[in-house]
Structure 1
Amino acid sequence: MFLPALTSALALSTRAAPDPYAKVHNKCSFPVWVSSVQNTAGPTQMLLSGNTFSEVQRNPENGTGVSIQVTTTVDGAHTKAPILIMGYSWDNRTGLYYSLSTVNGFSFWGQKLRIHNTEGKAVQEIVWVGEPKGEYTAVYLKGEADITLELCDDFAE
């Protein structure tokens, strides 16, 4: 008699959590171009001021994580233009690893850049204020978590 209700309750309680996302939020006064690269490059998307790029975090593919590349020119990823990279690798067994780095220079001088979690999870922030820092990889081992790269952020120092 109670078995159908119990089965339904168990099915609801074991439902998977929403997928974790990797995001880029453009707070700059200028557009940027974003592409997601794993083994191959995805399409380049223009991200206007105030808009957000978002993708479901992907598991490593043949040992390769994901590189979300941000440029300030439409063809920046295909030229020698500076590229800002939020790299991540997520696996439900090993956790979430993420970093911020540059290639070919830096286009965000004087701006605040931050990778963080906007849902209040205790994800370690990576912060660059005005200039790039050395590459650093942070880790979150407490399950799934969204990460957001804020461009031209307005947080208080």
Structure 2
Amino acid sequence: MRFFTVLSSLALAATTFAAPSIVVHNNCDFDIFVTSVGQTTGNTNTVQPDTLWTEEEYFQGIGTAIKIGRTAAALWTAKPTLHFSYTYNKGQSIYYDLSTAFGFDFWGEKITVKGDKDKDVPSIEWDGAPEPNHTLSYSGETGLTLEVCAA
């Protein structure tokens, strides 16, 4: 019995201290290319159709921008790039927005940002065209999922 209690406590501690995740779900019928940019720029990752890309939410003194393009070089060649940006304040809040740079490459495709299903997190929804940029926030901990070509 004591062994089970220790394992349960360890499992609870692991979930208590783990940061929520940022998820990009590619629901398109084409590859997208995702790059995480904070104080440093991460690798550009190919996300194939019906595949997820994920990273733990983090804060390095500045916000984080998840940059998505239709080509691997979009971010580096001033091609249309979708920006899913957030500022994470562990345990307290997350601020997030959706914007574009150098045009928009997802015309006619629905794009959504949603929080954890069991929480009342304000969502962002673009229905085939970009919307004006405005920042939303959630008080507390939540993961965020950006779905490109949402159903």
Alignment of 1:92-131 (within 5 A): 92=90, 94-131=92-129
Alpha-carbon RMSD across the aligned residues, in angstroms, is 2.2
User: Secondary structure, in 3 states, of the residue corresponding to 1:136?
Assistant: coil
2:34 corresponds in structure 1 to: 34
Distance 1:98 1:70 in 2: 15
* Displacement of 1:119: 3.0
Distance 1:58 1:108 in 2: 27
What is the TM-score with the length of structure 1 in the denominator?
0.85
- What is the aligned partner in structure 2 of residue 66 from structure 1? 64
Contact residue 19 and residue 90 of structure 2 kept, 8 A: no
- The residue type paired with residue 117 of structure 1 is G
Unaligned 5+ segments in structure 1 are none
Which structure has greater strand proportion? Answer: 2
* Residue 19 (structure 1) aligns with: 19
Q: CA deviation at 1:127?
A: 0.4
Distance 1:38 1:138 in 2: 19
Equivalent in the alignment of 1:149: 146
The residue type paired with residue 127 of structure 2 is: V
Larger Rg: 1
- Cα-to-partner distance string for 1:94-140 (whole Å, 9 max, x where unaligned): 41111100000000101100000253321110000010001011101
5+ unaligned residues in a row in structure 2: which ranges? none
TM-score by length of 2: 0.88
Task: Give the AA of the match of 2:38.
Answer: Q
Residue identity matched to 1:52: L
Change (3 A) 1:58 1:96: same
Q: Distance in 1 between matches of 2:66 and 2:10?
A: 34
Q: Note the 1:79-90 alignment, pairs <5 A.
A: 79-90=77-88
- Equivalenced residues, count: 147
Identity %: 32
Contact kept in structure 1, 2:92 and 2:141, CA below 8 Å: no
What SS is found at the alignment partner of 2:75? helix
Structure 2: how far apart are the matches of 1:105 and 1:150? 19
Moved over 6 A (4+): none
Query: Aligned equivalents of 2:11 and 2:73: distance in 1?
Result: 47
